[in-house]
Amino acid sequence: MLFPPVRRVSRSDLRVALVHMLGTVTGAVLMATAFWVLSGFVPPLSNSVRAAGVVIGAAVVWATKDAALFKRFRLPENQRQIPPEVLFRSGLSGPFQFGFEIGTGVRTYLPTGAPHVVAILLLLSAPTIVEAVVCGASFGVGRGVQQVATAVARNRDCFQEGWQRPVSAIGPFVSAITALGGVAVLL
Amino acid sequence: MPRSAPARTAATGRFQVVDVHAFRRGQIASAVWPVFLVVAVMAAFAGEPRAVLFAALGLFAGWSLSGSV
């Protein structure tokens, strides 16, 4: 958590949250651009083959994250927390770097399979650079906006509990929902 | 003073006294903000449905990781 649980009258909290979100967006756009470059090495395939690849990939992600294969295989994921020292550096460089590392998705936990499915989609769907950047920027916004909303909330602990409730409710279905969206992109 | 009530927290699973107003505001914000953002992306990328879908998927994937650091 970036902020203390009870709101203090401080504009700097919102500034910290916005810088954090700038970091998440920057990190996510960097990763999306990397996947866009890698997608150039995928041989030409028909849309139906690409869609099948996304569905199979999402099924593997779902099975690994949420089902029976969970204990046997591990998806590429750096299962550790970003050290708190990163966040508490002086000035705004700490929140930016913290957000950047979260935005890349390769430096911390990934509780759902959605980022993996989006990565598979970016690799297989031959996106344009604009589509890849939009996808990455959106991921970064999605990753960082909770902190922006929390920065202006009065009771932050309860606000975050409320925020988490819908996320927890659909947790096991996230990979499948993302895969459906991916198929919609390809058809 | 805000109304409060015991509720099971997502983080610990235990019952705690929860500020109901703040909790509901969090629920509503979590569920509603992506809609506004997707509409904004649709306006920005009118005529490019693939870009809008990519944006929606990116938002969804990012949102699904809310609370994780």
**Residue range A47-76, pLDDT digits in tens:** 888 888 888 888 888 888 777 666 677 777
Query: Is pLDDT of B53 > 80?
Result: yes
pLDDT at B1 over 50: no
CA distances B14 to A156, B2, B34, Å, are 18, 21, 29
Parent domain of A140: 11-186
Give the pLDDT confidence score for residue A166 in this predicted structure. Answer: 84
Q: pLDDT band at A94, cuts 50/70/90?
A: confident
Does residue A88 register a pLDDT over 80? no
Q: Can you tell me the ipTM of this complex?
A: 0.86
* Main-chain phi, psi angles of B10, to 5 degrees: -70, -35
Cβ contact A161:B23 at 8 Å: yes
Using a pLDDT cut of 90, give the percent of chain A over it: 24
Give the contacts of A175 (CB within 8 A, at least 6 positions apart): A58, A61, A62, A65, A66, A112, A113, A114, A116, A117
Residue A139 in any domain: the answer is yes
Maximum Cα–Cα distance across chain A: 56
Question: Is A2 inside a domain boundary?
Answer: no
Mean pLDDT over residues A142-163, rounded? 85
* CA-based nearest residue in chain B for residue A151: B26
Does a structural domain hold residue A5? no
The total number of structural domains that make up chain A: 1
Q: How confident is the model at residue B12 (pLDDT cuts 50, 70, 90)?
A: low
Distance from CA of B24 to the nearest CA of A (A): 6
Mark yes or no for CB contact A146/B66 under 8 Å.
Answer: yes
Long-range contacts (CB closer than 8 Å, 24 or more residues apart) made by A7-14: A7/A152, A7/A153, A7/A154, A7/A155, A7/A156, A13/A151, A13/A152, A14/A148, A14/A151, A14/A152
Closest CA of chain A from B10, distance in Å: 6
pLDDT over threshold 60, residue B5: no
B-proximal residues of A, 21-80, CB under 8 Å: 24, 28, 32
What is the average pLDDT score of chain A? 84
Q: What is the mean pLDDT of the segment spanning A76-99?
A: 77
CB A145 within 8 A of CB B36: no
Q: Which residues contact A151 (CB under 8 A, 6 or more apart)?
A: A2, A3, A13, A14, A16, A17
The DSSP string of A90-157 is: STTHHHHHHHHHHHHSSSS---SSHHHHHHHHHHHS---HHHHHHHHHHHHHHHHHHHHHHHT-SBHH
What integer pLDDT is reported at residue A128 of this predicted model? 92
In the prediction, which pLDDT does A129 show? Answer: 94
CB proximity B22 to A under 8 Å: yes
Q: Would the CB atoms of A185 and B55 count as touching at under 8 Å?
A: no
Predicted local confidence at residue A48, as pLDDT: 84
From start to end of chain B, where are the E strands? Answer: 4-8, 15-19
Domain boundaries, chain B: 4-64
Tokens for A147, please give them. 């902190």
What is the reported pTM?
0.84
Is residue A131, in this structure, part of any structural domain at all?
yes
